[in-house]
Amino acid sequence: MAAPTTSLPEVIGGVRNWDYRYCWLRDATFTLQALLAVGYEAEAEAWRDWLLRAVAGDPSQLQIMYGVAGERRLPELELGWLAGHQGSRPVRIGNAAAAQRQLDVYGEVMDALHQARLAGIAPDVESWNVQRAVLEWLESGWREPDHGLWEIRGDPRHFVHSKVMCWVAFDRAARAVEHFGMDGPIHRWRTLRDEIHDDVCDRGWDTERATFTQSYGSNELDASLLMIPMVGFLPPQDKRVIGTIDAVRRELTNDGFVDRYPTHSGMSVDGLPGREGAFLLCTFWLADALALIGRRDEAAALLERLIGLGNDVGLLAEEYDPINRRMLGNFPQAFSHVGLVNSALNLFEAAGPAERRKDG
């Protein structure tokens, strides 16, 4: 059953306004992977150098986002004298999410640097030292609850996607030793990788509904679960992967477009009132997941619908309101365009970014 529909004012949800004039490490790694897929290696190397400058210090204090010059202090303020678009108050500058812990970022950074090495960028001693320090903290840190990739304003949880990306961090570390001769305690990393895998499959799986869930002990779904086969956590043909994809399509779509997670009354974990539109990046992820499990015709049809949402010069927003058929949120949105690039490559290359990423 599709998620309940709603009218435009309810979708906008005025309190859901945030300042995005910063560099999110996760967003940057998604962009980096798209650039690497089409041969922009110099940009990947420049981003690695920027990352090392930005994250210098205690890895446990790694921020999820920085100013474009590496600034760490990004205080959030409300500008009460501004009405906002169509009265969508409050208008904010800064973003308090900079102080959140989002464990998936560690896995994204580890994977981005791993993908850069696979693309032929020579290993860098300094970057490996940073990775070793991150892994040392993550050995215990992965057990903690966090705010997840959607930076919820509610209570921290044990988000399945966050745990999966912790698995990615140790998996890519082990592969760095195996494939590139980097130094490190590979046996310990393999053990931790297996422990996280077992933990997720035990505590994050809903046997009755045949799907992974948003967080341990929850009934909700989350579009980030579509990433499970794309990062290699489980093979695409695994029944748990297929069950999760089917559940997302059944419970998180509206006219075929994917919500990030339920935001209708009584279901949202983000601590905010109101609803939002379908998230275009998540819909691209659905196309990628469908392609990986062999449903390429369905993936291609979905990609065509997404491309058709673009404006006269092909630009996409962050979200789409399938009821009123208009774009919502940040415009243009890098996330959406990165999704477009990756989905196109996943469908029309013999081995697209998702295929390469899952195989490492």
pLDDT tens string 121-174:
877 777 888 888 889 989 999 999 998 888 777 788 999 999 999 999 999 999
Mean pLDDT estimate for the chain: 84
Parse the chain into domains and list their residue ranges: 8-359
Q: What is the pLDDT of residue 60?
A: 63
Residue 265: predicted pLDDT: 55
**pLDDT digits 0-9 by tens, 71-100:** 778 777 777 788 777 777 777 777 766 667
Residue 291: pLDDT band (50, 70, 90) is: very high
| Beta strands at 211-212 and 253-254: parallel, antiparallel or unpaired | unpaired
- Model confidence pLDDT, tens digit, residues 170-221: 999 999 999 888 899 999 999 999 999 999 999 999 999 999 999 999 989 9
Query: Do 245 and 211 form a contact (C-beta atoms < 8 A)?
Result: no
The model's pTM is 0.88
Give percent of the chain above pLDDT 90. 39
Element containing residue 327 per DSSP (H, E): strand 326-328
- Report how far apart, in Å, the C-alpha atoms of 317 and of each of 50, 192, 204, 235, 313 are: 27, 39, 31, 31, 12
C-beta of residue 358 within 8 angstroms of C-beta of residue 231? yes
pLDDT (mean) for 5-14: 41
pLDDT tops 60 at residue 3: no
CA distances from 186 to 170, 175, 315 (A): 9, 9, 44
**pLDDT score recorded for residue 6:** 35
pLDDT exceeds cutoff 70 at 7: no
**The pLDDT of residue 128:** 87
Q: Is the pLDDT score of 11 beyond 60? A: no
Say if residues 147 and 215 touch (Cβ distance below 8 Å).
no
Q: Shortest CA distance to 149 belongs to which of 104, 99, 214, 108?
A: 104
pLDDT reported for residue 226: 96
What's the pLDDT score for residue 292? Answer: 93
For 8-359, CATH gives 1.50.10.10
Q: In this predicted structure, what is the pLDDT of residue 170?
A: 97
Would the pLDDT of 264 be above 70?
A: no
Q: Tell me, what's the pLDDT at 16?
A: 60
For residue 305, pLDDT beyond 70 = yes
**Token digits of residue 225:** 């679960």
**Per-residue pLDDT tens digits for 36-70:** 888 888 888 888 788 777 776 666 677 877 887 77
Q: Count other C-beta atoms under 10 Å from residue 140's C-beta.
A: 10
Q: Which of 106-120, 153-167, 256-270, 318-332 has the highest mean pLDDT?
A: 153-167
The whole-number pLDDT of residue 134 equals 87
Interior/surface letters 259-283, b for 16+ CB within 10 angstroms, e for the rest: bbbbbeeeebbbeeebbbbbbbbbb
> What pLDDT was estimated at residue 10?
43
